[in-house]
């Protein structure tokens, strides 16, 4: 008890000293790119320097490590695997100014709690839009055209002579595609699928979008989208409203021939219900880049299904994209600790 009070006192004294000397202490929760680290190492306009506490590992830190190392920091550079909640913000202390996540999704950050504590939040929109949209289309085609089943058949010897009806999937030409969440990634996906000869693009979200006009996309209700689409693509943010929106009711409304693709967050899907829908033929197939949990245990029931293609959350996994995300997150962090406007703040 006495020991911990002394520690708190020492940490507060250290905190005020660093503040006066213009040093800002930041926690980086994982190995980051050398270029991003270089810009954080300075020189930095607006403060003497950053005192960087780098968790130099490619594995996520344990909760205990995070809670310990965050104490007394002015800034946190985190990844989507780090839960930034009230407890962590309180452990950080009142001097905390900024949480910068190297991701566009910020469902792991309690943005409201940050706001209440005067902590600004930054994310990395835009720089990963193309990479994620490309991956969404790749996953859509891999799922609808049964690419993984085909590869498996080549390897296990079940590939026989050419047959008219073997390994047939469904094509995009003349189809109706429904996009749930016509944000940056949703729009980039719509642009990419048009040239495949898609006949109708439907979308849903909180509000109709200006940008939808030039994409020729029609705003409909979630239910109408599910009932009419041959391909249903989840490109929305994970929020309390979107959590498990893809559940038994949703799969029930879809066509039995529908293909469902999710590159948003695993939390938008009820995976038990998805398993049932895929195994009892309520929908044809699913392609998931995101799951709950991540990584998905290798004995998870979804992995036993031929009509479910699962990727390990690689939507933005393109070298240049990851570099740009790391740099943008670094710039957000620097702006936040030096009281400047961030290049990309999250607005509540």
Question: Which listed option, ligand NDP, ligand DGY, none, makes contact with residue 144 (CB within 5 to 8 Å by class)?
Answer: none
Secondary structure of residue 321 in the 3-state scheme = helix
Collapse the DSSP code of 225 into the 3-class scheme (helix H, G, I; strand E, B; otherwise coil) and give the result: helix
Total residues contacting ligand DGY (rule CB under 6 A)? 7
Query: Which of residues 39, 153, 237, 305 is near ligand NDP by CB under 6 A?
Result: 237
SS3 state at 246: strand
CA–CA distance, 40 with 66 (Å, rounded to integer): 20
Contact call for residue 33 and ligand DGY (CB under 6 A): no
Select which of 74, 273, 300, 313 is catalytic: 313
Q: Is 104 in the site for ligand DGY (CB under 6 A)?
A: yes
Q: Which of 61, 72, 75, 105 binds ligand NDP (CB under 6 A)?
A: 105
Distance CA 345, CA 63 (A): 25
Nearest to ligand DGY of 75, 315 (CB atom)? 315
Half-sphere exposure of 14 (CA within 13 A, CB side): 14
Query: Tokens 């498990």 label which residue?
Result: 244
105 binds ligand DGY (CB under 6 A): yes
Q: Is 232 in the site for ligand DGY (CB under 6 A)?
A: no
| Residue 263 in the binding site for ligand NDP (CB under 6 A) | yes
> Residue 204: which of 231, 224, 190 has the closest Cα?
224
Q: How far is residue 203's CA from residue 117's CA, in Å, rounded to a whole number?
A: 36
Smallest gap from residue 74 Cβ to ligand NDP (A)? 26
- In whole angstroms, the minimum distance from the beta carbon of 45 to ligand NDP comes to 29
**Min dist. Cβ of residue 252 to ligand DGY (A):** 28
Q: Assign 77 to helix, strand or coil.
A: strand
Binding mask 84-103 for ligand DGY (x = CB under 6 A): -------------------x
- Between strands 23-28 and 217-219, the pairing is unpaired
Counting Cα atoms < 13 Å in the Cβ hemisphere of 200 gives: 13
Q: Is 180 in the site for ligand NDP (CB under 6 A)?
A: yes
Whole-number Cα distances in Å, 239 to 109, 117, 202, 236: 11, 21, 21, 9
- Residues 277-336 interacting with ligand NDP (rule: CB under 6 A): 289-290, 313, 315-316
Using the minimum distance from each CB to ligand NDP, give the nearer residue, 325 or 334. Answer: 325
Which of 60/301 has CB closer to ligand DGY?
60
Among 40, 80, 135, 334, binds ligand DGY (CB under 6 A): 80
To the query of whether residue 273 is one of the catalytic residues in this protein, the response is no
Report the candidate in 29, 101, 32, 25 with the shortest Cα–Cα distance to residue 346: 101
* Rounded-to-10 torsion of CA 252, 254, 255, 260: -120
The CA-based diameter of the chain, rounded to the nearest angstrom, is: 79
User: Is residue 179 within 8 Å of residue 233, measured between CB atoms?
Assistant: yes
What element of type H or E holds 192? helix 184-193
Q: Is 265 in the site for ligand NDP (CB under 6 A)?
A: yes
**Distance of closest approach, residue 79 Cβ to ligand NDP, in angstroms:** 12
| Residue whose beta carbon is closest to ligand NDP | 183
Binding site residues, ligand NDP, CB under 6 A = 104-105, 125, 128-129, 132, 180-186, 204-207, 235-239, 241-242, 263-265, 289-290, 313, 315-316
Chain residues that interact with ligand DGY, rule: CB under 6 A: 80, 103-105, 128, 315-316
- Catalytically active residues are 313
């Amino acid at each position: 008890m006495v020991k911990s009070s002394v520690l708190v006192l020492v940490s507060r004294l250290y905190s005020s000293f660093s503040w006066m000397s213009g040093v800002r202490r930041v926690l980086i929760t994982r190995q980051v790119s050398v270029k991003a680290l270089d810009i954080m190492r300075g020189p930095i306009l607006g403060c003497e320097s950053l005192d960087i506490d780098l968790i130099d590992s490619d594995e996520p830190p344990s909760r205990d490590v995070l809670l310990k190392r965050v104490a007394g920091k002015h800034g946190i550079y985190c990844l989507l695997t780090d839960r930034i909640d009230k407890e962590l913000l309180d452990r950080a202390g009142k001097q905390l100014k900024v949480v910068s996540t190297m991701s566009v999704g910020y469902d792991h950050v309690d943005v409201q709690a940050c706001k209440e504590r005067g902590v600004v939040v930054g994310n990395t929109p835009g720089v990963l839009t193309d990479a994620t949209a490309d991956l969404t289309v790749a996953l859509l085609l891999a799922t609808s055209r049964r690419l993984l089943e085909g590869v498996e058949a080549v390897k296990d010897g079940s590939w026989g002579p050419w047959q008219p009806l073997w390994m047939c999937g469904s094509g995009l030409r003349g189809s109706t595609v429904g996009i749930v969440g016509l944000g940056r990634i949703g729009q980039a996906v719509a642009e990419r699928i048009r040239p495949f000869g898609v006949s109708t693009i439907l979308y849903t979200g909180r509000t109709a979008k200006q940008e939808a006009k030039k994409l020729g996309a029609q705003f409909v209700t979630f239910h109408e989208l599910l009932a009419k689409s041959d391909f249903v693509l989840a490109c929305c943010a994970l929020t309390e409203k979107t959590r498990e929106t893809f559940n038994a009711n949703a799969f029930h409304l879809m066509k039995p021939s529908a293909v469902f693709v999710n590159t948003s967050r695993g939390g938008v899907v009820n995976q038990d219900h998805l398993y049932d829908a895929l195994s009892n033929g309520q929908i044809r197939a699913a392609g998931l880049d995101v799951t709950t949990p991540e990584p998905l245990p290798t004995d998870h029931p979804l992995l036993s299904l031929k009509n479910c293609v699962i990727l390990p959350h690689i939507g933005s996994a393109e070298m240049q994209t990851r570099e740009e995300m790391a740099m943008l997150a670094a710039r957000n962090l620097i702006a936040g600790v030096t009281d400047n406007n961030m290049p990309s703040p999250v607005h509540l």
